[in-house]
Amino acid sequence: MQLKSLRLLMGVAETGSFVATAQRLHTVQSNVTAHIKKLEEELGVQLVHRSGQVRLTTAGMALAEYAERILSAHDEALSLFKGDRVAGSRLRIGAMETTTALRLPPVLAAFHGAYPEVDLQLHTGPTASLVERLTEGLVDGVFVAGHLDHPHYHLEKVFSEELVLVSANPMMAMPTTEALLTATFLAFRQGCSYRQRIELLLAHCGVSAARIFELGSLDAMLGCVAAGMGYTVLPRATVEAHQHRFGIHCLALPAPIAQVDTYFAAAQPATWTPALARFVDTLRQVAASDTRRPEAEGV
């Protein structure tokens, strides 16, 4: 059985004429005859009344019901890829908690505003779990901080953060190794890449182990830092956005440690569904406007 045959059958059902069907579907009448005839032979049932009026038999109508289901599903699938419409399609994105809070709101808002008909799902979790989801095909794309070691993946730098050391008191230089040994650091929970940066920073300063407090929210973290509880490491934009609320000060970190790039990782662009392609478009636009006026940023 052929989709084309079903389409011709529906044409005959609607027009009641072989020639009209042929015109409508851009073929010739004899071809319509041949297709219908083949369908009938295949099913062993006469589908169309020919004597005089051309109309479907009850068997033809029964088949037409299925044909309608089949063809509408087919059209829907086609429109998913070919058409500009992304209606009914699903887009599953994964991101870390920090990225979700820090960068995604404007992206998601812009995308949902432009394509409200897309069923957008956001999964949050630690990087390892996100990458696993991606490789299993459970999500269409994920946001990760730093490069992805997995090969064969499309990586696109979308956000760039400058991390700064945050403290309650003004700092002119990095704390001494001795100070760091006794200091307390405040960080998000395990699995967050910013926390990994803190550990990287400590290693860079020759400190092997320091006390790290895990906090669940940015406000709690900043509040504790302002209270003199210890240090933390955050994007500069974030600190600046909250500086008027807390008496906090920041110090630039050494360049290799300060620079954190957030990448969007997905399969190769050739495999993208239209919805994903649109999402990446939106993402690029938002990211571009972010870098043009970074001072407007922050959480």
Partner DNA sequence: GGCTGATATTCATGGAAAATGATTTGTTTT
Partner DNA sequence: AAAACAAATCATTTTCCATGAATATCAGCC
Q: Applying CB under 8 A, which residues contact a second copy?
A: 1-3, 43-47, 49, 51, 55-63, 66-67, 69-70, 73-74, 76-78, 80-82, 89-90, 137, 140, 152, 267-268, 270-273, 276
Residue 166 Cβ vs DNA, minimum distance, rounded to whole Å: 43
Task: Select from 15-23, 153-161, 278-286, 291-299 the region that touches DNA (CB under 7 A).
Answer: 15-23
The site partner of 173 among a second copy, DNA, none (C-beta below 5 to 8 Å per kind) is: none
Amino acid making up residue 193? S
Q: Which residues of 64-99 are buried (b: 16+ CB within 10 A; e: fewer)?
A: beebeebbeeeeeeebbeeeeebeebebbbbbbebb
33 binds, among a second copy, DNA, none (CB under 5 to 8 A by kind): DNA
- What does DSSP say about strands 211-214 and 184-187: parallel, antiparallel, or unpaired? parallel
Part in contact with DNA (CB under 7 A); list of ranges 36-44, 89-97, 133-141, 291-299: 36-44
**Residues 272, 157 contacting (CB under 8 angstroms):** no
* 190 binds DNA, rule: CB under 7 A: no
Let me know: does 243 contact 157? Beta carbons within 8 Å.
Answer: no
Residue 34, judged by CB atoms within 10 A of its CB (0-12, 13-18, 19+), counts as middle
Separation of alpha carbons 252 and 174, rounded Å: 9
Query: Least separation, in Å, of the C-beta of 70 and DNA?
Result: 16
Partner in contact with 35, chosen from DNA, a second copy, none, beta carbon below 5 to 8 Å by kind: DNA
Q: Which of 41, 44, 51, 149 binds DNA (CB under 7 A)?
A: 51
